[in-house]
Amino acid sequence: MKIILISSRAEKVRTLSLNSWAKGLLSVVLLGIPVAAGTMLGVKIADGRWELLFDNSISEMQHQIVVQQEEVDAGRDQLAGSLSAMTVKLAQMRSRLVRLDALGEQLTQIASLEDGEFDFSVNPGLGGPDTNLVTETASTIDIQEELATLFARLDSNIDSRESQLQVLQSMLSDNRIKNERRVAGRPIVKGWMSSEYGMRTDPFHGKKRWHAGVDFAGRQGADVIAVASGVVTWSGERSGYGQMVEINHSDGFVTRYAHNEKNIARLGAIVKKGELIASMGSSGRSTGPHVHFEVYKNGRTVDPASYIKRTSR
């Protein structure tokens, strides 16, 4: 390889000859400078990009941490709200169960039912196979599952109590209806029995006559009440009875209330046991304020005494 050197003076030209070693050194010098400069420039650029990428990654991670923390806080708040709601519901269900138990005990005592037939103080017997039974350890059951189980038990107890109350109320309703229809008690609120059923001396002429009822004396205008529920089949004046009310009951019973000052129950009216039907008087064949009370069974008079002494049950 030859290198020609030309001076500003045209007359001077020099020629240099380079051997192989000089050629290699010159090539390294001429090519190494651009490569080194490019490498240094690339390193500088790469360092800037890695710093930027690193900064962006840290920012993204910080953002994700904030988002996850917000989600955790929201979940914790939701769980706290759910637990509070379930706690309130649990308290309401317990209170409802206590009221049902108290009502059931009172109704059982009022109805005079046999002990043990309706026992609201113990949990009802329940059972049955679970087709979805899965073996679990205690560590796998969380608080929500425990609360769900507790709610299920309370719901079952409440349903059982309500079923017992429905049966009990039905029985009480039947007993109440029977009691309403049952001829029992006195036809007055205040007063005393002044004449019995059967043969007696007639107060008008002193001869023995049959007395088909009993008399209750009292104050003029005192209350006369029905001894059982029924339909009024007579309300008005009747010979010998004066102002009289007649009531047709079930099972072939009929009762009469005579010598009234005023009839309050009207013909065709449905009256209840103990309802005011007339005011005591002395109308008709009477010597003073009283109510003449008769009881008919299947069309024949019977002694009212046995029905007067009857207790409602």
Closest by alpha carbon to 219, among 284, 290, 292, 293? 290
The answer to whether residue 243 sits within a structural domain is yes
Separation CA 113–CA 243 (nearest Å): 43
- What is the reported pLDDT for 260? 97
Which residue, among 201, 223, 224, has the nearest Cα to 211 in the 3D structure?
A: 201
Domain extent for 40: 2-72
pTM reported for the whole predicted model = 0.50
What's the domain count of the chain? 3
3-state secondary structure 110-171: HHCCCCCCCCCCCCCCCCCCCCCCCCCCHHHCCHHHHHHHHHHHHHHHHHHHHHHHHHHHHH
User: For position 199, what pLDDT does the model report?
Assistant: 92
pLDDT for residue 15: 60
Q: Which two tokens stand for residue 313?
A: 């049950």
213 and 297 both lie in a single domain: yes
Residue 141 to residue 155: CA distance in whole angstroms:
20
Residue 292 and residue 237 in contact, taking contact as beta carbons nearer than 8 Å: no
CA 290 to chain centre: 53
- Considering the domain architecture, whether residues 111 and 30 belong to the same structural domain is answered as no
User: Looking at 130, 161, 181, which one is the last position of a domain?
Assistant: 181
| DSSP conformation class of 35 | H
Q: What are φ and ψ of residue 294, in 5° steps?
A: -120, 150
Q: What is the pLDDT of residues 266-295, one digit of tens each?
A: 999 999 999 999 999 999 999 999 999 999
Domain-ending residue, one of 46, 72, 98: 72
Kindly tell me the burial class for residue 273, based on how many C-beta atoms sit within 10 Å of its own C-beta (0-12, 13-18, 19 or more): buried
Looking at the fold, whether 170 and 221 belong to one and the same domain comes out as no
Domain membership of residue 198 (yes or no) is yes
pLDDT tens for each residue of the chain, 313 residues long: 555 555 555 555 566 565 666 666 656 555 666 666 666 655 555 555 555 554 555 566 666 666 666 776 776 777 677 777 777 777 777 777 676 666 666 566 555 555 555 555 555 554 555 555 444 444 445 666 776 777 777 777 777 766 766 666 666 666 666 778 889 999 999 999 999 999 998 888 888 999 999 999 999 999 999 999 999 999 999 999 999 999 999 888 999 999 999 999 999 999 999 999 999 999 999 999 999 999 999 999 999 998 998 755 4
Evaluate whether residue 186 is within a structural domain: no
The SS3 assignment for 23 reads: helix
Q: For residues 61 and 189, give the distance between their C-alpha atoms in angstroms, rounded to a whole number.
A: 91
Beta partners for residue 236, in sequence order: 244
For position 133, what pLDDT does the model report? 46
Same domain flag for 263 and 216: yes
Q: Going by C-beta distance under 8 Å and a sequence separation of 6 or more, which residues neighbour residue 18?
A: 1, 2, 3, 26
Is 161 in the same domain as 93?
yes
Instruction: Using the Cα atoms of residue 26, residue 27, residue 28 and residue 32 in order, give the sign of their dihedral.
Output: positive
Q: Give the model's pLDDT for residue 140.
A: 47
pLDDT of 134? 45
Answer yes or no: do 296 and 197 share one domain. Answer: yes
